Amino acid sequence: MSVESVNAAAAAASAAAATGHILPSGWPQLNTLVVFGLLLALGVLGGLVAARARYLPSITGFIVLGLIVGPSGLGLLTPRALAESSVLVDIALGLILFRLGVTLHPVKAARDRKLMVTSLVEGLGTFIAVLVLMLWADASPVLAVLAAAIAVSSSPAVLIHVVDELKAEGPSVRHAESLVAANNVLSFVLFSLALPMALLGDAFHLDTALLLPAYQLFGAVVVAMGVAWLVTSIARLTRHGEEHFRFALVVGAVMLTLGLAQGFKVSTLFASLALGIACRTMQGRTRLTRVDFGGGGDVFFVILFVFAGANLHLAEVLKYAPIAFAYVLVRSLVKVGAVYGCGIAYGTSHRSALASGLMLVPMAGLAIGLVQTTTVLMPEMGARVAAIVLAAVAIFETVGPPIVTYALRFSGEAHPPAEAETRAVPEVAPSPASDRAARQV
């Protein structure tokens, strides 16, 4: 081969390599940005479809569209693409848990006898009832305890989004938000107490089994308190009318907390919840704790629920349907019954007490996070826990939003969009001069 031929071949290869860097060599793979765009676009489509039905919350539309395009549906979003984009869900859950945490002031909560008694009765009652159910279903004691601890948690995302969508406000809503925050804390504590028993059964050493859960719990609190001190100090420098700075500060605080929690290998979910509680404790109901997420907050809700729908596995739901339905039924009856009974005992109206109990029915975010923690630490045990709990979560994500919507309307604290707009912008009668000017035009 001549020198000219070699040079020509080298030039052609160089040109092909350069073209490969500029033009795609094939159909592009899904990346985080593509998934982000798809989740938002399809979520909005699902929300619009749900909005056409009078009593169907937009969350249901988000979840259904996610299921259709996910691995169990058309497969537009693959399991690999969803796994690589899980950071989007971490941020969404972090912001939602932060917002829930600011509703709970630990000192004031400890002095609120009604809240403390109701929280303990419904939380421990749920734990015991689900534990008995799992043991009756021939589950191992370790599996039963872990599943029961996870069952104590409720979904803050469903409650907050439906409340915002219906512009709901009132004592039932405030009581339910405080109860959700409290039972998520209780769920994580019970899970941390049960984890040593599970770890010892999985051939862990005693010191590791005892210290690891304590480290994850208290480490998350330390991270949250450090970030809370930093951002509340900065928030004090803001002035009235600078809400946009405080919104950016909240997003930054949550992402900083998530990053530090991942770096120190503590619970990201509990750290986000503890961040909200710490900010409320350090600054009260001012500045950061009163930040309105506005339209920007909808982005995170849409991502979370479309992602959740895409991750639903219909095969597992069908396989474990009997125990999952029993899990859902027992948990729901105990929570609603306990909150209703405590409410009546403390003089709350029947309507308000029942509505508050119904708002605790959904279960999703923290439950999924605790299942993932179990799977990472104990793959074999985690797979068994995930099979039952995630099948139950699939049912809760389907029936939960309509139940919360019904509860808010039943309590009389929900306001339709048209009514909310009328309440927010009162009509002002035109002056005689402006009326004359309008007629002249």
Could you tell me the residue ranges of all domains in the chain?
102-296+313-415
Band the pLDDT of 433: cuts 50, 70, 90: very low
Using 50, 70 and 90 to split pLDDT, how confident is the model at 184?
confident
CATH class of 102-296+313-415: mainly alpha
Write the CB contacts of 143 (distance below 8 Å, at least 6 apart in sequence): 134, 381, 384, 385
What's the pLDDT score for residue 266? Answer: 86
pLDDT of the residue at 430: 45
pTM over 0.85: no
Q: Is the pLDDT of residue 441 over 70?
A: no
Residues 6 or more apart whose Cβ sits within 8 Å of residue 266: 215, 216, 217, 219, 220, 223
> Is the model more confident about 43 or about 205?
43
What is the average pLDDT score of the chain? 78
Distance in angstroms (rounded) separating the CA atoms of residues 65 and 59 = 10
Residue with more model confidence, 398 or 135 = 135
Give the alpha-carbon dihedral of 270, 396, 110, 228, to 10 degrees: 30
Output the six-digit token pair for 439: 């007629």
Phi, psi of 425 (to 5 degrees): -125, 90
**pLDDT, greater one: 163 or 197:** 163
48-57, 287-296, 393-402, 424-433, range with greatest mean pLDDT: 393-402
